[in-house]
Amino acid sequence: AQAIWHKLRRPVVLTPQASWQAAPAMALPDEAEMEEVFKLFDQEGSGIKVKEIGTVMRSLGIAASETLLREFQTEAAASHTTHVTFSEFVSYAKRCQASDAGKRVDIGKEMQGMKLGILRFFDKLSPNQIRDSPPEDVKISDLKHLLAAIGEKMTEEELDEMAKNIRANCRTSDGRVNFEDFIKLMMV
C-alpha cells in the first residue's frame, strides 16, 4: 500500500493532533552523489545544458515544480549562458528543497476532494445529492481508472494488486469500497 500511496503523492504521517500532513521533505542526496549524476549529463565538462536542469534533478529524486524550473532557466539565461555549473546546480537543488520544506498538504482534505471528484465525474451525482446524502463508498473500478491516469502512472499489475488489497482489507460491497477504509489502507 505504501508504494501505491507513493504513486499518488508523497508519503504522509499522522500527527498527534490527528491531522494529515505531508511527510517532511526528502533530504538532498550528498554532494558526491549529486556530482556523479551531474557529470553523467556534463559530457564536455562545461556544465549541463540549461534545459536539462529538471532532468538531472529528477534523476536525483529531487522534485521541482515546473514554475521553479522555469525560474532557474530564466536565471541561467539572464547570465547569457547555455550551461549551468555544478555549484549553480547545487544552489538550485537547495532552493527546491527549501521550497518543498515549506509546503504542507492537508491529505484528509485532498482525499475528500478526490472522493467528491469521483462521485461527480464517475457516479454523475449532483452537488446537492452529494451534500444531502453523501455516499460512504466509491467504485473500485473508478479508483483504478483514476490511479491509472494521474501522477506517476500505475501499471495494470499494480492496479490489480491494489484492488486485491482493497477487497481483502476494506469493507466492500457490489464492487464499491468504503472510502474511509481505502484512505486507512493507503496510510499503512
**Rounded to 5 degrees, what angle do the CA atoms 113, 62, 109 make?**
15
pLDDT exceeds 80 at position 108: no
Interior/surface letters 5-30, b for 16+ CB within 10 angstroms, e for the rest = bebbbbebeeeeeeebebeebeebbe
Confidence of residue 15 (pLDDT cuts 50, 70, 90): very low
161-170, pLDDT tens digit by residue? 888 999 999 9
38-97, pLDDT tens digit by residue? 998 888 889 999 988 988 888 888 878 888 899 998 998 888 788 999 999 999 999 888
Which grid coordinates are listed for 117? 471528484
**How many whole angstroms separate alpha carbon 148 and alpha carbon 111?**
16
pTM of the model: 0.48
pLDDT exceeds 70 at position 12: no
Q: Are 141 and 175 in contact (CB under 8 A)?
A: yes
The larger pLDDT score, comparing residue 8 to residue 93, is at 93
**How many whole angstroms separate alpha carbon 186 and alpha carbon 51?**
36
Q: Which residues contact 158 (CB under 8 A, 6 or more apart)?
A: 3, 4, 7
| % residues pLDDT > 70 (the chain) | 79
Q: Which residues contact 63 (CB under 8 A, 6 or more apart)?
A: 57, 96, 100
Tell me what pLDDT residue 8 has.
Answer: 45
User: Averaged over 136-151, what is the pLDDT?
Assistant: 83
Give strand pairing partners of 21.
Answer: 13
97-106, pLDDT tens digit by residue? 877 666 665 6
Tell me what pLDDT residue 92 has.
Answer: 92
From 73, 53, 65, 70, select the one nearest 96 (Cα to Cα): 65
**How many whole angstroms separate alpha carbon 49 and alpha carbon 83?**
4
**How many whole angstroms separate alpha carbon 170 and alpha carbon 75?**
50
Q: Which residues contact 5 (CB under 8 A, 6 or more apart)?
A: 11, 12, 186, 187
